[in-house]
Amino acid sequence: VQLQASGGGLVQAGASLRLSCAASARFFSSSVVAWFRQAPGKERDFVSAIRWGRGSTYYADSVKGRFTISRDNAENTVYLQMNSLKSEDTAIYYCARGSSLAYALAEYKYWGQGTQVTVSS
């Protein structure tokens, strides 16, 4: 399975962006698709995840209330709607697919290439 992340860009604080994670093949109902992000000089951190079958969603505390993860079954695509962006959201955003919900990188077998999000203050 190949994942293609897109939608990043340079925006001002308070703006919105929507990231997309498109899969080359159908996600299984048991799949979990997650977004992680990595800021310069920092570790890659969990941002959000969605259970493909149930649609259950999970968020890091730092993005709750601002980011929304969703899925499009027909398009095999997961979206991350990011509102009220802050400078601390600046990072490379990666999507990943795993077989169970986890916050650790090692639990996700398939990764997209990343898309840069830069928020200017």
Q: Do the strands 57-59 and 91-98 form a parallel or antiparallel pair, or are they unpaired?
A: unpaired
Q: What is the pLDDT of residues 91-116, one digit of tens each?
A: 999 999 999 888 889 999 999 999 99
User: Does residue 16 have a pLDDT over 90?
Assistant: yes
β-partners of residue 75 are: none
Q: What is the pLDDT of residues 36-69, one digit of tens each?
A: 999 999 999 999 999 999 999 999 999 999 999 9
For the chain, the distance separating the N- and C-terminal CA atoms, rounded to the nearest angstrom, is: 37
Tokens found for residue 70: 């969703």
| Cβ-contact 34, 48 below 8 angstroms | yes
